[in-house]
Protein backbone atom coordinates (compact mmCIF):
# COMPACT_ATOMS: atom_id res chain seq x y z
CA UNK A 1 0.00 0.00 0.00
CA UNK A 2 1.35 3.41 -0.98
CA UNK A 3 0.76 5.66 2.03
CA UNK A 4 1.90 8.83 0.30
CA UNK A 5 4.92 9.32 2.55
CA UNK A 6 7.58 9.35 -0.17
CA UNK A 7 9.79 12.42 0.10
CA UNK A 8 8.33 13.60 3.40
CA UNK A 9 10.75 14.57 6.15
CA UNK A 10 10.17 12.42 9.23
CA UNK A 11 11.94 12.70 12.60
CA UNK A 12 12.03 9.55 14.75
CA UNK A 13 13.55 9.86 18.22
CA UNK A 14 15.08 6.93 20.05
CA UNK A 15 15.57 5.36 16.64
CA UNK A 16 18.75 3.33 17.06
CA UNK A 17 17.13 0.35 18.76
CA UNK A 18 14.00 -1.80 19.09
CA UNK A 19 10.69 0.04 18.40
CA UNK A 20 12.28 3.28 17.19
CA UNK A 21 14.58 1.44 14.82
CA UNK A 22 11.65 -0.49 13.33
CA UNK A 23 9.67 2.74 12.90
CA UNK A 24 12.55 4.47 11.11
CA UNK A 25 13.00 1.52 8.76
CA UNK A 26 9.25 1.32 8.07
CA UNK A 27 9.26 4.98 7.01
CA UNK A 28 12.32 4.27 4.88
CA UNK A 29 10.41 1.53 3.06
CA UNK A 30 7.79 4.17 2.22
CA UNK A 31 10.48 6.40 0.69
CA UNK A 32 10.39 9.05 3.40
CA UNK A 33 13.36 11.26 4.24
CA UNK A 34 14.02 9.78 7.64
CA UNK A 35 15.94 11.62 10.36
CA UNK A 36 17.14 9.00 12.84
CA UNK A 37 17.83 10.39 16.32
CA UNK A 38 19.72 8.56 19.05
CA UNK A 39 22.74 8.55 21.33
CA UNK A 40 24.69 5.63 19.86
CA UNK A 41 26.60 6.88 16.80
CA UNK A 42 27.67 3.44 15.61
CA UNK A 43 24.14 2.05 15.82
CA UNK A 44 22.75 5.22 14.24
CA UNK A 45 25.07 4.86 11.28
CA UNK A 46 23.95 1.25 10.82
CA UNK A 47 20.26 2.17 10.93
CA UNK A 48 20.82 5.01 8.45
CA UNK A 49 22.63 2.65 6.09
CA UNK A 50 19.79 0.13 6.35
CA UNK A 51 17.24 2.91 5.77
CA UNK A 52 19.05 3.99 2.61
CA UNK A 53 19.08 0.42 1.34
CA UNK A 54 15.33 0.13 1.93
CA UNK A 55 14.28 3.12 -0.10
CA UNK A 56 15.32 6.27 1.76
CA UNK A 57 18.50 7.50 0.03
CA UNK A 58 18.51 10.72 2.06
CA UNK A 59 18.20 9.02 5.47
CA UNK A 60 20.16 10.97 8.06
CA UNK A 61 21.41 10.12 11.54
CA UNK A 62 21.64 12.86 14.16
CA UNK A 63 23.50 11.97 17.35
CA UNK A 64 21.64 13.68 20.18
CA UNK A 65 20.55 13.17 23.77
CA UNK A 66 17.11 14.71 24.29
CA UNK A 67 17.81 15.11 27.99
CA UNK A 68 19.77 18.12 26.72
CA UNK A 69 17.24 20.98 26.36
CA UNK A 70 19.17 22.34 23.35
CA UNK A 71 19.14 19.07 21.41
CA UNK A 72 15.71 19.52 19.72
CA UNK A 73 16.80 22.70 17.96
CA UNK A 74 19.94 21.02 16.63
CA UNK A 75 17.86 18.06 15.42
CA UNK A 76 15.36 20.39 13.75
CA UNK A 77 18.12 22.32 12.00
CA UNK A 78 19.58 19.11 10.58
CA UNK A 79 16.15 17.85 9.50
CA UNK A 80 15.16 21.10 7.80
CA UNK A 81 18.22 20.82 5.58
CA UNK A 82 16.22 18.04 3.90
CA UNK A 83 12.98 20.02 3.83
CA UNK A 84 10.12 21.02 6.13
CA UNK A 85 9.41 18.52 8.90
CA UNK A 86 6.04 16.92 8.17
CA UNK A 87 6.07 14.03 10.66
CA UNK A 88 7.40 13.70 14.22
CA UNK A 89 7.49 10.40 16.11
CA UNK A 90 8.26 10.84 19.80
CA UNK A 91 9.60 7.44 20.80
CA UNK A 92 11.66 8.10 23.94
CA UNK A 93 10.73 6.55 27.24
CA UNK A 94 12.25 4.49 30.02
CA UNK A 95 12.28 3.90 33.74
CA UNK A 96 15.24 4.08 36.08
CA UNK A 97 14.15 1.63 38.73
CA UNK A 98 11.40 -0.68 39.94
CA UNK A 99 10.00 -0.30 43.43
CA UNK A 100 6.83 0.19 45.35
CA UNK A 101 6.26 3.92 45.55
CA UNK A 102 6.52 3.94 49.35
CA UNK A 103 10.07 2.59 49.15
CA UNK A 104 11.15 4.30 45.92
CA UNK A 105 14.11 6.67 45.78
CA UNK A 106 12.89 10.23 45.14
CA UNK A 107 16.12 10.85 43.22
CA UNK A 108 14.80 8.59 40.45
CA UNK A 109 11.45 10.30 40.00
CA UNK A 110 12.66 13.22 37.92
CA UNK A 111 14.74 10.96 35.67
CA UNK A 112 11.66 8.89 34.81
CA UNK A 113 9.63 12.02 34.10
CA UNK A 114 12.36 13.67 32.03
CA UNK A 115 13.11 10.74 29.72
CA UNK A 116 9.51 9.59 29.31
CA UNK A 117 7.52 12.82 29.20
CA UNK A 118 9.60 15.99 29.09
CA UNK A 119 11.57 14.84 26.03
CA UNK A 120 8.23 14.60 24.18
CA UNK A 121 7.37 18.17 25.15
CA UNK A 122 10.75 19.51 24.04
CA UNK A 123 10.78 17.84 20.63
CA UNK A 124 7.14 18.64 19.90
CA UNK A 125 7.63 22.29 20.86
CA UNK A 126 10.58 22.52 18.48
CA UNK A 127 8.67 21.33 15.39
CA UNK A 128 5.16 22.57 16.09
CA UNK A 129 5.34 26.18 14.94
CA UNK A 130 6.65 25.09 11.54
CA UNK A 131 3.76 22.68 11.14
CA UNK A 132 1.27 25.36 12.18
CA UNK A 133 2.72 27.81 9.69
CA UNK A 134 2.38 25.25 6.89
CA UNK A 135 -1.09 24.14 7.96
CA UNK A 136 -0.22 20.45 8.03
CA UNK A 137 1.61 17.84 10.08
CA UNK A 138 1.51 14.49 11.82
CA UNK A 139 2.68 13.80 15.37
CA UNK A 140 2.70 10.26 16.72
CA UNK A 141 3.68 9.69 20.34
CA UNK A 142 4.69 6.32 21.73
CA UNK A 143 2.86 5.77 24.99
CA UNK A 144 2.40 2.51 26.86
CA UNK A 145 -0.23 0.23 28.28
CA UNK A 146 1.46 1.19 31.57
CA UNK A 147 -0.09 4.61 31.08
CA UNK A 148 -3.54 3.05 30.72
CA UNK A 149 -3.61 0.60 33.62
CA UNK A 150 -0.39 1.23 35.58
CA UNK A 151 2.47 -1.25 35.75
CA UNK A 152 3.22 -2.77 39.13
CA UNK A 153 6.33 -1.33 40.78
CA UNK A 154 6.67 1.35 38.09
CA UNK A 155 4.48 4.12 39.50
CA UNK A 156 6.32 7.16 38.14
CA UNK A 157 6.96 5.64 34.71
CA UNK A 158 3.27 4.69 34.46
CA UNK A 159 2.26 8.21 35.47
CA UNK A 160 4.65 9.72 32.92
CA UNK A 161 3.24 7.54 30.13
CA UNK A 162 -0.25 8.55 31.20
CA UNK A 163 0.92 12.16 30.84
CA UNK A 164 2.03 11.37 27.28
CA UNK A 165 -1.50 10.14 26.57
CA UNK A 166 -3.08 13.23 28.09
CA UNK A 167 -0.71 15.51 26.19
CA UNK A 168 -1.67 13.72 22.97
CA UNK A 169 -5.34 14.46 23.50
CA UNK A 170 -5.04 18.11 24.48
CA UNK A 171 -2.53 18.88 21.73
CA UNK A 172 -4.87 17.30 19.18
CA UNK A 173 -7.56 19.73 20.33
CA UNK A 174 -5.23 22.69 20.00
CA UNK A 175 -3.72 22.01 16.59
CA UNK A 176 -6.48 20.27 14.66
CA UNK A 177 -7.57 23.64 13.30
CA UNK A 178 -4.13 23.89 11.66
CA UNK A 179 -4.42 20.60 9.80
CA UNK A 180 -2.22 18.70 12.28
CA UNK A 181 -3.17 15.32 13.73
CA UNK A 182 -1.77 13.98 17.00
CA UNK A 183 -2.13 10.33 17.98
CA UNK A 184 -0.51 7.85 20.33
CA UNK A 185 0.44 4.19 20.05
CA UNK A 186 0.58 2.39 23.41
CA UNK A 187 2.43 -0.93 23.23
CA UNK A 188 2.79 -3.59 25.87
CA UNK A 189 6.20 -5.33 25.98
CA UNK A 190 7.83 -5.18 22.54
CA UNK A 191 11.07 -6.88 21.56
CA UNK A 192 12.66 -7.17 18.13
CA UNK A 193 13.55 -10.55 16.69
CA UNK A 194 16.63 -8.96 15.10
CA UNK A 195 19.80 -9.23 17.25
CA UNK A 196 21.07 -6.06 15.54
CA UNK A 197 18.18 -4.05 17.02
CA UNK A 198 19.83 -3.32 20.37
CA UNK A 199 22.32 -0.48 20.43
CA UNK A 200 24.74 0.59 23.14
CA UNK A 201 22.33 3.41 23.84
CA UNK A 202 19.35 1.11 24.18
CA UNK A 203 17.66 1.01 27.54
CA UNK A 204 18.00 -2.80 27.32
CA UNK A 205 21.79 -2.60 27.32
CA UNK A 206 22.86 -3.27 30.90
CA UNK A 207 26.41 -1.96 30.45
CA UNK A 208 25.84 1.31 28.60
CA UNK A 209 22.09 1.90 28.40
CA UNK A 210 19.67 3.82 30.56
CA UNK A 211 19.66 0.95 33.04
CA UNK A 212 23.44 1.00 33.52
CA UNK A 213 23.17 2.40 37.04
CA UNK A 214 19.68 1.09 37.69
CA UNK A 215 18.46 -1.54 40.11
CA UNK A 216 15.38 -2.15 37.95
CA UNK A 217 13.97 -5.63 38.62
CA UNK A 218 17.18 -6.88 40.19
CA UNK A 219 16.74 -8.89 43.34
CA UNK A 220 12.95 -9.18 43.04
CA UNK A 221 11.62 -12.53 44.15
CA UNK A 222 9.49 -14.67 41.86
CA UNK A 223 6.23 -13.58 43.48
CA UNK A 224 7.00 -9.90 42.98
CA UNK A 225 8.07 -10.45 39.38
CA UNK A 226 4.87 -12.40 38.71
CA UNK A 227 2.80 -9.39 39.73
CA UNK A 228 4.43 -7.38 36.95
CA UNK A 229 3.33 -9.73 34.18
CA UNK A 230 0.11 -9.51 32.18
CA UNK A 231 -1.29 -12.13 29.85
CA UNK A 232 -3.44 -11.52 26.81
CA UNK A 233 -5.73 -13.59 24.67
CA UNK A 234 -3.07 -14.53 22.12
CA UNK A 235 -0.52 -17.32 22.43
CA UNK A 236 2.31 -14.85 22.94
CA UNK A 237 2.49 -11.87 25.26
CA UNK A 238 5.28 -9.88 23.59
CA UNK A 239 4.71 -7.69 20.53
CA UNK A 240 7.04 -7.68 17.55
CA UNK A 241 8.45 -4.29 16.61
CA UNK A 242 6.91 -4.33 13.14
CA UNK A 243 3.46 -4.71 14.72
CA UNK A 244 4.01 -1.33 16.36
CA UNK A 245 5.80 0.39 13.49
CA UNK A 246 3.13 -0.47 10.94
CA UNK A 247 0.48 1.33 12.97
CA UNK A 248 2.74 4.34 13.55
CA UNK A 249 3.43 4.76 9.85
CA UNK A 250 -0.26 4.46 8.99
CA UNK A 251 -1.16 7.18 11.54
CA UNK A 252 1.49 9.42 9.94
CA UNK A 253 -0.01 8.99 6.49
CA UNK A 254 -2.74 10.79 4.60
CA UNK A 255 -4.89 7.66 4.97
CA UNK A 256 -5.25 8.57 8.66
CA UNK A 257 -6.10 12.22 8.03
CA UNK A 258 -9.41 12.02 9.93
CA UNK A 259 -7.96 10.31 13.00
CA UNK A 260 -6.66 12.46 15.87
CA UNK A 261 -6.44 12.49 19.65
CA UNK A 262 -6.55 8.69 19.89
CA UNK A 263 -4.61 6.21 22.02
CA UNK A 264 -4.09 2.83 20.31
CA UNK A 265 -2.97 -0.13 22.47
CA UNK A 266 -0.83 -2.78 20.80
CA UNK A 267 -1.08 -5.29 23.61
CA UNK A 268 -2.20 -8.70 22.41
CA UNK A 269 -5.42 -8.31 24.33
CA UNK A 270 -3.83 -7.85 27.75
CA UNK A 271 -6.28 -5.06 28.53
CA UNK A 272 -9.13 -7.53 28.08
Contact 182, 127 (CB under 8 A): no
Task: Identify the CA nearest to 18 among candidates 71, 92, 88.
Answer: 92
Share of the chain above pLDDT 90, in %: 70
pLDDT digits (tens, 9 = 90+) for 117-147: 999 999 999 999 999 999 999 999 999 999 9
Residue ranges of domains in the chain, CATH in brackets: 9-266 (3.40.50.720)
Q: Is the pLDDT score of 196 beyond 90? A: no
Task: Identify the CA nearest to 88 among candidates 110, 69, 70, 66.
Answer: 66
Q: Is the pLDDT score of 218 beyond 60? A: no
For 208, residues 6+ apart whose C-beta sits below 8 A from its C-beta are 200, 201
**Distance in angstroms (rounded) separating the CA atoms of residues 42 and 227:** 37
Least confident among 96-105, 156-165, 217-226: 217-226
Q: Is the pLDDT score of 202 beyond 90? A: no
Contact 185, 143 (CB under 8 A): yes
pLDDT digits (tens, 9 = 90+) for 68-95: 999 999 999 999 999 999 999 999 988 7
SS (H, E, C) 32-84: CEEEEEECCHHHHHHHHHHHHHCCCCCCEEEECCCCCCCHHHHHHHHHHCCCC
pLDDT digits (tens, 9 = 90+) for 147-183: 999 988 899 999 999 999 999 999 999 999 999 999 9
For residue 217, what pLDDT is reported?
A: 47
For residue 110, what pLDDT is reported?
A: 93
Q: What is the mean pLDDT of the chain?
A: 88
**Distance in angstroms (rounded) separating the CA atoms of residues 48 and 176:** 32
Tell me the DSSP string of 188-208. Answer: SSB--S-GGG--TTSTT-TTT
Q: Is the pLDDT score of 226 beyond 70? A: no
Q: pLDDT-based confidence at 235, cuts 50/70/90?
A: confident
Catalytic (active-site) positions: 157
Q: Is the pLDDT score of 15 beyond 80? A: yes
Query: Backbone phi, then psi, for 167, in 5-degree steps?
Result: -60, -40
Q: Is the pLDDT score of 209 beyond 80? A: no
User: 88 has which bridge partners?
Assistant: 11, 139
Least confident among 14-28, 50-64, 221-235, 246-260: 221-235
Amino acid sequence: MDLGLAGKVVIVTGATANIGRAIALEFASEGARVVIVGRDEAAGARVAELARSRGAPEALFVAADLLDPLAPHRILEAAEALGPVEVLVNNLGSHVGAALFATSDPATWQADIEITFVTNLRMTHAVLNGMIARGAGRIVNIGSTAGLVGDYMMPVYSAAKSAVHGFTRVLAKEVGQHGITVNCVAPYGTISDDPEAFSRGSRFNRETGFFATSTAFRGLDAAENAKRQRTGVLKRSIARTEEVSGLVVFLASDRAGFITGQIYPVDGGTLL
